[in-house]
Amino acid sequence: MKVTERFLADDLRGVRYAINVFVATTVVWLVVRVWSDSNPIWAVSSMIATSDPQLKQSMVAFRGRLLNTLLGCAIGLLVIAVGRTNWELPMALALSVLVSSYLIRIPTMWRQAPITAAIIVAGGMQHHDKLSAFENGAIRVGEVIFGCLIGIASAWALSTIWPMPEKRSTNKE
């Protein structure tokens, strides 16, 4: 199949996604840099994870990412509050996997719970007092949630401006 045929065969899905990621990254980058003067990589990675050319897929990713982020944050903060040990990181990760797998039960983005718990606990390990650890963790989680919101908003806006037909099933998938 020629390259031009490939672009047209999938309804320009890659082009739509590239436009979506470009616009959303620009928004996230500018807002996070202006508001918090911090590195917006957490927000950008979350935005990418929740954006998709198909709005329905974006919503599934958004829901999974948001719930598992909140879960990982709660477990990470709980572990920090309990106290400092050499086992806090592995315990937080294992606990977040168990709770995500058996209570939340959203397979989409299930890895997000232990990732967020790791961000929170590792950030807490860099600070000597619990308050700084909580503050650092809350900022990172806020950036992740902001990125998720921008990802879903940009997917919605693009689907409104340039609607995409429902994904056709093919033998290649």
pLDDT digits (tens, 9 = 90+) for 32-48: 888 877 788 888 988 99
Which residues touch 127 (CB under 8 Å, ≥6 apart)? 133, 136
pTM summary value: 0.76
Cα 111 from Cα 18, distance rounded (Å): 24
| CB contact set of 7 (below 8 Å; sequence gap of 6+) | 14, 15
Percent of the chain exceeding pLDDT 90 equals 25
Band of residue 167 on the pLDDT scale cut at 50, 70, 90: low
Of 46-50, 129-133, 134-138, 167-171, the one with minimum mean pLDDT is 167-171
